Structure formats: structure tokens, C-alpha cells
Amino acid sequence: MDSELKLTIKDMVVVGKGILAADESVKTATKRLASINTESTEETRRQYRNIMLSAPQVEKYLCGVILFEETLHQKSDNGMLFPKLLAKKGIVPGIKVDGGLADLDNGEQYTKGLEGLGNRLEEYKKSGCRFAKWRAVYSISEKTPSPAIIQRNAEDLAKYARICQEHGIVPIVEPEVLIDGTHSIIKCQEVTEKVLKAVFDALNKENVAIDLTILKPSMVISGKQSDIRAGVQEVAGRTIKTLKKTIPSELPSINFLSGGQSPEEATAHLNAMHTLNEHLPWYVSFSYARALQEPALNAWKGKNENIPAAQKAFLKRAKLNSLATMGKYSEDMEKNE
């Protein structure tokens, strides 16, 4: 089992490459398609995913794609099952395995989906998936996140990660401290530190092999509605400081989520982390959904004649984020590319 996991890590930790999150549930995909006045059907969701997954030479920038269950059984315009298409390009197919969020009485949310996970993983494996992803969320307000949700999410993420590794699937562990709110970057830093500490304590307790795990965290960033929002250098500096304090060096890769940042912000922040002149013990890259997809979605508008423009927009963001993983991105590339 270990050699299988090691090979997947090797294929997913590649300098200059990152992960595309294309794992929106039907509900979220419907919201995204509504923003371009396109009806959400199985076919329009397939068409949309086909634009990104079939984009020419996308494998230069991506080492993995997180898929939603529905996409596993869908085919590209050329008639190839999407996981097969990705594998053919040398991109590792993965799958979102959490069952979404459920409300708790105090207004916080936990993640569903542990029941029957092992059996589902066996099925996903047959479809070609080699890694999985599970997302837990933490909201910042005066009373949240509560110690109880920090503990519960950490334990569930750890159980999920252990089950994945037992089935030869690399777990992506995604604790997302939400950007919504008026909080300061310092508050976000405090919360992120507590959350990550609890997650790694739980992973260790559950005997999860850290060197065969990928972390998908949020960045340390000011609340979206905050009056004073920290600049790029501060976000990069505080994020790396917090990660160094809480994450063991044997973790192979940290792939950030974009969490509501604009595409340009998400790229600039990642790039700045690589220009801090600090040694980073792990590979630091991206696993963006919105920050990679937004320009493509807006260019497509649900119309066939816009597919080339949508693919161009998608490849541009993928390339700029690839450059950011090496600290080689600059703002003027936004105009020239």
C-alpha cells in the first residue's frame, strides 16, 4: 500500500505544477453556471468540465485534478472517460469524498461522509482515482470557531485520512478558515494556528503517515469585509510563519485553496510566499477552484463558439499560477499573457 501512496505523492509533487479543484457539488456547480445564465444539467456540467480538462497542454501546469463523482462517469468531447483522459496526460485524477456540510445548533457546520467511506473509495479507485479530498470549514466571529468544532473537524479529517491511506488513496486534508467577515489578519492567524495544530495532533493520534498526505489550507488573510485589508507581502509572511509553526517538515506538499480571493490575488499571494527568501520545507503550490476557473467560466458564457476563448483564459491562469509556485510571476504578466 505504501509504495502505491508514494508513487502518487511523487506524481503530485512536481515543481511548477499544482492541482485544479473541479469538484463542485451539483448545488455549487449550479450556482456557478447561473452566474453566466446557463442552466445546470448533467450535460452543461460535462461541457464546462470538458473545457478545462481538454485544454491543450494543460498538463504543463497541472499534476492533479479533484473531480466530483458525477464527472467520473462522463466523457470528453472525444469520447474518453475524464479520469482516463487525465491519466493519459500524466495528470493524477482524484475525488472529493466528503458529503458536504451539515448545520450544528450553534450555527457552526461539520462535514458529513465518514459512513461507508471505505467502500466508496474502492469504487472510486476502480474509476482511476488515486487521491481524495475532504473539506472542513471554520467561520470566524466573536464566538467561533468553537473549541468543539476545532476538535471535531480535526478528528474527522484524521479518520478520513487514515481510511484513505488504508485503501491506497492519498488524502488531501482541507481545513478551510473562511474569509467571510470583518476580522483582522491577526485574528485569522490566531485561528489558523489553532486549527492546524489540532489537525496535526489528530493526524498523529490516528497514525496517519504525514509524508503520504497533502494539506490544502486557506491562507492567513484579512476578512473579506474588513476595513483594513493586509497587503500581499503581509499575507505571504504571516501565512508561511503560521505554517512553519504548525506543520511538520515531512509533509510533502501544501496546496492552497483560493477561498474567495480574486484570481489575481490568489496568484500574487502564492508567488510572494516564494519570494520571501525563506527556506520552505514542503512544496508550496495551489489547489484552486474559483481562482483558476472564474475567467474561463466568464469567457465561455455557455456558448460553443466561446470555447477557444475559455480555454485560453483557463490556460493563462494555470500558467501564471505555475510561475507563482517558482516565484516567477509578476503583475505585468496579467496584461501580456
Residue 320, interface with ligand 5MM (CB under 6 A)?
A: no
Q: Which of 291, 297, 315, 320 binds ligand 5MM (CB under 6 A)?
A: 291
**Nearest alpha carbon to residue 297 among 285, 305, 306, 288:** 306
Q: Tell how strand 101-103 and strand 109-111 pair up.
A: antiparallel
- Selecting among 174, 176, 187, 319, the annotated active-site residue is 174
Closer residue to ligand 5MM in complex, CB, 25/226: 25
89 noted as active-site residue: no
Indicate the length of the chain as a whole number: 337
CB atoms within 10 A of CB 202: 23
**Nearest alpha carbon to residue 266 among 247, 293, 305:** 293
190 noted as active-site residue: no
Across the chain, the runs of DSSP E, i.e. the strands, are 18-22, 62-67, 92-96, 101-103, 109-111, 131-138, 170-177, 214-215, 253-256, 283-288
Residue 28, interface with ligand 5MM (CB under 6 A)?
A: yes
Residue 259, interface with ligand 5MM (CB under 6 A)?
A: yes
Q: Tell how strand 62-67 and strand 101-103 pair up.
A: unpaired
Check: CB of residue 255 under 8 Å from CB of residue 294. no
Closer residue to ligand 5MM in complex, CB, 25/233: 25
Closer residue to ligand 5MM in complex, CB, 243/297: 297
Residue 135, interface with ligand 5MM (CB under 6 A)?
A: yes
Q: Which of 61, 200, 283, 288 binds ligand 5MM (CB under 6 A)?
A: 288
Q: Which of 71, 111, 258, 311 binds ligand 5MM (CB under 6 A)?
A: 258
Residue 24, interface with ligand 5MM (CB under 6 A)?
A: yes
Residues lying near ligand 5MM in the complex (CB under 6 A) are found at 21, 23-25, 28, 66, 96, 100, 135, 176, 257-259, 288-291
